[in-house]
Amino acid sequence: MDVCQMMKHCNQVLQVPLGKIELPKINLLFRAIGIVTKWEIQIFNNGIPPNMPTFQKLIVNFECDFEEEKKSLLKTLEEYRICFENKNLPDHHVLFGKMKEKDWGFLEYKHLHHHLKQFNV
């Protein structure tokens, strides 16, 4: 994954709570692991675990345009901010279970930080 693909990936992840991308249902075992991972990240203020599996739908393995993806990510971040402030985010995530605004904010921040740090951006 290059920096452009990373921005596209982060954009797609932010589109999940906006209702623009729907993730497939997962089995109970993976869901339990996701819920525990969410708690662990929040309690210990850990980052996203290295090599954490990604939903197939969110994998970006094709060429993209840097400037276009940068603009698109900033636009989606603004949309997300508005939904967050208006308390208009879903109360559930396929992997992480029940979600409140603070959960979305914390996990989205950790995810974006993880990838920006990964690429030294």
Per-block average pLDDT, block size 10, for the chain (121 residues)?
A: 96 98 96 93 87 92 96 98 96 96 95 93 82
Q: Say what the pLDDT of residue 9 is.
A: 97
How far is CA 66 from each of CA 6, 9, 27, 87, 107, rounded to the nearest angstrom? Answer: 10, 12, 35, 31, 24
Distance of CA 79 to the CA centre of its chain: 14
CB burial of 4-42 (b: ≥16 within 10 Å; e: otherwise) equals bbbbbbbbbbbbbbeeeeeeeeeeeeebeebeebbeebe
**Beta-strand pair 97-98/92-93:** antiparallel
Q: Say what the pLDDT of residue 10 is.
A: 97
Q: Say what the pLDDT of residue 47 is.
A: 84
Cα atoms in the 13 Å half-sphere on the side-chain side of 83: 21
CA–CA gap between residue 74 and residue 47 (Å, rounded) = 22
Q: Say what the pLDDT of residue 48 is.
A: 85
Q: Say what the pLDDT of residue 21 is.
A: 97
